[in-house]
Amino acid sequence: MFGGAGGNKFDMLKQMKKMRSQVKTMEKELAGLNFVGISKNKLLSVTLDGKFQMKSIQIEDELIEKKDKNLLEKSIQEAYTKALQDAQAGAAKQMQAMGGFPGLGM
């Protein structure tokens, strides 16, 4: 995993420290990214950051005026799912751009 069976502990610790640094850098970069998912009816949007934390929900007045709980729930689900898929793809792309994590199959 870290230089094969003949690798010494110092090299392994050095590699682990480098990986920790890469992870911290990646986390900072991901936190700064935003991914917006929009419901199919285009009346609701959800914004997630690259760490999959919800940043905002925006609901158009038209959706609220409909007073349709099921439609509101469905719209939230659609927008959130789309934002999550985009955030996951963005995180994977970011990891690849940083060279992944050699030795871990990433």
pTM of the model: 0.72
Nearest alpha carbon to residue 47 among 94, 91, 89, 80: 80
Sheet with 34-38: strands ordered across: 34-38, 44-49, 54-59
> 6: which 2 tokens?
């003949």
Distance CA 24, CA 42 (A): 36
Profile the chain (106 residues) by mean pLDDT over runs of 10 residues. Answer: 63 88 82 94 96 94 96 98 95 77 50
Residue 44: the pLDDT is 98
Residue 40's pLDDT is: 98
